[in-house]
Structure 1
């Protein structure tokens, strides 16, 4: 028996949630059971009532708004507890075409991927400005570099996860899950696939992208933070190489001037600056070593959490059979 749960993070979505739910499938080839789950992220309107009217199977409640990332993770946890073999995440604003869900899950059903991301036709999307299209492509390129993956549309929220992939994900960022989960999955060696999907006409403005500069800054900080988290030694090695290299060049310059030009001049400022830069570079390398040791400890904790999730899933499965 293969169970698919479609999860939808919601925050004041009474106007669009019904449209989204009415398009979701209840039967998909290769899937025995299809269930729906919404994450009510502190909504103050009739979001929950609309969900119940359309027969949503599971509702996760937050009394106050916790943000998209926390809502996404709460949904994954609830789907795992409900016995999901495959989890599909989509948005409540009906941005993504629900008819593409069978296509989205095919790589997982065939054992070809652990995570599948729907690639939107960015350049053909009319309500995206040229600036947004360029930034979406640039951001996806940055994520590909940081994750060693080949995902053409990194910010896409239309994605599918196998049970094993969902158990391994841990979102630390409070802003969004889209970029972090790709980088994390790539660093964990998960198989990631991308399939072209269609989008629907825009029903409302994005709540995540309130301004282009803010979105770019927060996305860049997310990529940088996750890269530091998973590759701290490499990050601090490159960071420390800049002051260390400059300090070394200044030191070589001082030696050349001292021995070849005028040994009577001390040129103390250059020598002091070279020493400071070399010391800064060396300290950054030490930070990298310490962070790398901490990362090893984090990996052990993640493995323990993965074991606990598997044990909990097996217990829930056993309880549901009795």
Structure 2
């Protein structure tokens, strides 16, 4: 039997949650059981009461606001514990068209992908400014480079995960999970794809993108941080090559003047060349140390995945008995 759980992170969503839940399906072709789960991220309004009125099956409660990334991960954990084979994540503001969920989960049902991201019609979305559309495309391009994937709409929160993919994911960033999970999937070799989806009319302004420049800077920081986690040696080799190259060029320049018989000793040039070469070597050494730490982290992640699988397997055996 295939079980689908649709999870929704919520923070003060009293006004929009009912509209979102009313559009969610309870039956789909290829799925035997559909359940709904909300993550109440410290809401101070009637979010939980609305969820109960609409028959939500599972509610995860945070006493205080923890942020979207932690709410997302708590939802994945709760969905796995509830026996989900497929997990769909959507937003509480009804931004994404629930009728497209069958298309979203289809690649997972057909074993074509482990993660599926909904691609919004960015250029046709009227409430997106031109600058935001350009930044969305630019950000998605950067994520594609960092992750070696081909996801055209990286910030989209409308996505589906197989059970195996959900078990392997870890989100370190406290701001958002969207970019980090794609980069993780690419670096871990998960099969990830995207499908075109539709969007609904805006019910409220985005709480994640309060300021476009701030969102861009935080997104770039997230990409950089994940790149450091998964490709530290490559990053520090590239970074160290910059001062090292300038140092070598300065050193060659000094040698040229020295052997050409110029009277000036040009000691400052020699000192600068030495400093730049040493800085480059130090950055390379940092890369080697970081790479060793990354190898240790990968081992720890493999142990974590095995422990999660054993835990969920024991719970399934207990329920079957």
Q: How does 1:12-51 map to 2 (within 5 A)?
A: 12-51=12-51
Paired with 2:225 and 2:293, the residues of 1 have a C-alpha distance of 15
- Show the counterpart of 1:291: 290
Deviation by residue 1:198-231 (Cα, 9 ceiling, x = unmatched) = 0000111000001011000000000011001000
- Show the counterpart of 2:311: 312
Paired with 2:193 and 2:210, the residues of 1 have a C-alpha distance of 29
- Show the counterpart of 2:227: 227
Deviation by residue 1:268-302 (Cα, 9 ceiling, x = unmatched) = 11111110000000000000000000000000000
Deviation by residue 1:72-97 (Cα, 9 ceiling, x = unmatched) = 00000000000000000000000000
Paired with 2:116 and 2:122, the residues of 1 have a C-alpha distance of 17
- Show the counterpart of 2:87: 87
Gapped runs of 5+ residues in structure 1?
none
Deviation by residue 1:160-212 (Cα, 9 ceiling, x = unmatched) = 00000000000000000000000000000000010000000011100000101
- Show the counterpart of 1:53: 53
**Structure 1 residue 78 and structure 2 residue 73: aligned?**
no
1:261 Cα deviation after fit: 4.3
Paired with 2:178 and 2:261, the residues of 1 have a C-alpha distance of 58
Compare 43-52 and 310-319 and name the one that shifted more: 310-319
The secondary structure found in structure 2 opposite 1:131 is helix
1:233 Cα deviation after fit: 0.2
Paired with 2:17 and 2:312, the residues of 1 have a C-alpha distance of 29
**Structure 1 residue 165 and structure 2 residue 165: aligned?**
yes
**Structure 1 residue 269 and structure 2 residue 273: aligned?**
no
Normalization by structure 2: what TM-score? 0.99
Paired with 1:281 and 1:229, the residues of 2 have a C-alpha distance of 20
The secondary structure found in structure 2 opposite 1:5 is strand
Paired with 1:226 and 1:288, the residues of 2 have a C-alpha distance of 15
Q: How does 1:177-196 map to 2 (within 5 A)?
A: 177-196=177-196
Deviation by residue 1:221-244 (Cα, 9 ceiling, x = unmatched) = 000110010000000000000000
1:265 Cα deviation after fit: 2.2
- Show the counterpart of 2:197: 197
Q: How does 1:54-133 map to 2 (within 5 A)?
A: 54-133=54-133
1:315 Cα deviation after fit: 1.2
Paired with 2:28 and 2:317, the residues of 1 have a C-alpha distance of 25
Deviation by residue 1:10-69 (Cα, 9 ceiling, x = unmatched) = 000000000000000000100000000000000000000000000000000000000000
Paired with 1:142 and 1:285, the residues of 2 have a C-alpha distance of 24
Paired with 1:265 and 1:138, the residues of 2 have a C-alpha distance of 49
1:266 Cα deviation after fit: 1.6
The secondary structure found in structure 2 opposite 1:56 is coil
The secondary structure found in structure 1 opposite 2:14 is coil
- Show the counterpart of 1:137: 137
Paired with 1:129 and 1:43, the residues of 2 have a C-alpha distance of 29
The secondary structure found in structure 2 opposite 1:60 is strand
Normalization by structure 1: what TM-score? 0.99
Paired with 1:30 and 1:75, the residues of 2 have a C-alpha distance of 23
Give the length in aligned residue pairs: 321
Runs of 4+ aligned residues of structure 1 deviating over 3 Å after TM superposition are none
**How well do the aligned residues superpose, as a CA RMSD in angstroms?**
0.5
Paired with 2:265 and 2:4, the residues of 1 have a C-alpha distance of 74
Gapped runs of 5+ residues in structure 2?
none
The secondary structure found in structure 2 opposite 1:15 is helix
**Structure 1 residue 302 and structure 2 residue 301: aligned?**
yes
